[in-house]
Amino acid sequence: MKKIVLFLLVITFAMSENLSPVFDPRRTPAYLPDSRWGYVGTSAALTIAGSLAGAGILFLMPESVTKWDKEDIENLGSNYLKKVRRGPVVDKDEWWLNWITHPYWGAVYYLQTRRAGFNWGFSTFYSFLCSTFFWEYGIEAFAETPSWQDLVVTPALGSLFGELFYLGINYIQNNNSELFGSRFVGGLFLFLMDPIGFVIQDLKLGQALGIKNTREFQSFYVPKKDGILFVTTYRW
């Protein structure tokens, strides 16, 4: 009986706060594409473009920071095979590369399938695939030997951070994209937590490509006997 009363109190509080009738706005996404694989395909294309741009930026940074041998990169084919066969090894990258940037991108990989509507298990697996084969044994292997830290830390911590980001994104979007009473701050955090999703959702790339949000408010008209139309708005 107490559980029933508590449940009713929670629902009443949510309704009184002018929220949508959702039990937990942190876990219920405000965006859910009508095509999961269409969303993932779009995000994958953006991920590739962003990763290539990121690799270019890293290439321009000092070798003392990235530990990339720029002379080796010039002989891509032979050096790639040499580095892949040599690894994985324990790298000597800066701490912020191993423990901040790699987990961050692991979280971004995780979010692409999580926000497309897949569960956390599949999203963790997707983060592992992207971080291992796309980046560590893919783009980065042209510059340095695959690293044990990156193979483990990127998908492991990345998935944990990714789920936290997922809850934060849902909370902000269900709060009219506001954070601390500001839509600018809310939009900034949405971009920082998932820049790829921000482009697809907030900048409407997905909509331009025909990917619809099934969570958007929809309206329809109901005719009445006196000829007046009644407008109903609802969420899928």
pTM of the model: 0.73
CA atoms 126, 124, 171, 4: torsion sign: positive
CA distances from 114 to 16, 31, 38, 127, 230 (A): 30, 11, 13, 10, 37
pLDDT tens over the chain, length 236 residues? 444 445 444 444 443 344 344 445 556 888 999 999 999 999 999 988 887 787 677 666 766 666 666 665 666 666 777 777 777 877 777 777 778 888 999 999 999 999 999 999 999 999 999 998 888 888 777 777 788 888 888 899 999 999 999 999 999 999 988 999 899 999 999 999 999 999 999 899 999 999 999 987 544 455 555 555 545 444 44
